[in-house]
C-alpha cells in the first residue's frame, strides 16, 4: 500500500471536499469509499440531490396546475413516475461521475473498500486492489473534526 499524507474514509461531501482541498495544498491523498456505486455519499446518492430533483418535478406539476391563473391553457397534468425517477437517476449519475472526475483530476487516489483506522499511525481498507504493495503508511494519523458543530467524537474501530 503506498504512503499518503491524508487518507479520507467516506466520499460524502465531508470526505471528497476535504480530499480535493488537501490535494490542492500539495498533499498525497487517498479516499476510501465502501460502496462502489455511491461515490458522493448520502447527499448525492440518497439525500440532497435526489430529493431536490423530485421536489422540482412536484414544483413543475404545481405550476402547470396553476397555468390558467397565468393565462395559459393546458390539459390536466399527469405524473409520469418512471420518467421522474429516470430524470432523478440521470442527474445523480452525472453528479456522481462529476465527483469522481474532480477527485481524479486533482490526483486523489480512489479506493473502493471499507476503510478503518487500524492504529494511530496507519490505516487500511479491508479490501485493497490486487497487485498493490501492502506496506502500511507511517505518516498518517486519524483525526476527528475540531469544528464546534461536531457534537460527538468519531470512534474508530
Ligand X SMILES: Cc1cc2nc3c(=O)[nH]c(=O)nc-3n(C[C@H](O)[C@H](O)[C@H](O)COP(=O)(O)OP(=O)(O)OC[C@H]3O[C@@H](n4cnc5c(N)ncnc54)[C@H](O)[C@@H]3O)c2cc1C
Q: Which residues bind ligand X (CB under 6 A)?
A: 9-15, 32-35, 38, 41-43, 46-48, 51, 114-116
Question: Exposed/middle/buried for 13, CB within 10 Å: 0-12, 13-18, 19+?
Answer: middle
Nearer to ligand X, 61 or 112 (CB): 112
Which lies closer to ligand X via its Cβ, residue 69 or residue 128?
A: 128
**To the nearest whole angstrom, how small is the minimum distance from the Cβ of residue 92 to ligand X?**
13
The 3-state secondary structure of 34-80 reads: CCCCCCCHHHHHCCHHHHHHHHHHHHHHHHHHCHHHHCCCCCCCCCC
Q: What single DSSP character describes residue 134?
A: -
Residue among 29 and 41 whose Cβ is closer to ligand X: 41
Shortest distance, CB of residue 74 to ligand X, whole angstroms? 30
Question: In the bound complex, which residue of the shown chain has the CB atom lying closest to ligand X?
Answer: 12
Q: Which is nearer to ligand X, 72 or 129 (CB)?
A: 129
- Counting every residue, how long is the chain? 157
Between 3 and 53, whose beta carbon lies closer to ligand X? Answer: 53
| Closest CB 85 distance from ligand X, rounded Å | 15
CB of 76 to ligand X, least distance (A): 30
Any idea which residue has 455519499 for its cell? Answer: 41
CB of 44 to ligand X, least distance (A): 7
**Per-position b or e across 22-34, b if 16+ CB within 10 A of its CB:** bbeeeebbbbbbb
Kindly give the pairing relationship between strand 29-33 and strand 6-9.
Answer: parallel
Amino acid at each position: 500500500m503506498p504512503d499518503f499524507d491524508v487518507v479520507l474514509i467516506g466520499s460524502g461531501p465531508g470526505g471528497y471536499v476535504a480530499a480535493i482541498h488537501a490535494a490542492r495544498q500539495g498533499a498525497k491523498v487517498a479516499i476510501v469509499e465502501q460502496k462502489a456505486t455511491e461515490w458522493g455519499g448520502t447527499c448525492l446518492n440518497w439525500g440532497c440531490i435526489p430529493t431536490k430533483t423530485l421536489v422540482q418535478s412536484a414544483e413543475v406539476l404545481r405550476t402547470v396546475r396553476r397555468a390558467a391563473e397565468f393565462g395559459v391553457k393546458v390539459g390536466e397534468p399527469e405524473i409520469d413516475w418512471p420518467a421522474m425517477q429516470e430524470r432523478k437517476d440521470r442527474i445523480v449519475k452525472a453528479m456522481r461521475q462529476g465527483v469522481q472526475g474532480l477527485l481524479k483530476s486533482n490526483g486523489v487516489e480512489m479506493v473502493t473498500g471499507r476503510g478503518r483506522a487500524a492504529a494511530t499511525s496507519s490505516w487500511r481498507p479491508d479490501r485493497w486492489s490486487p497487485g498493490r504493495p501492502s506496506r502500511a503508511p507511517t505518516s498518517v494519523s486519524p483525526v476527528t473534526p475540531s469544528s464546534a458543530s461536531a457534537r460527538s467524537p468519531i470512534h474508530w474501530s
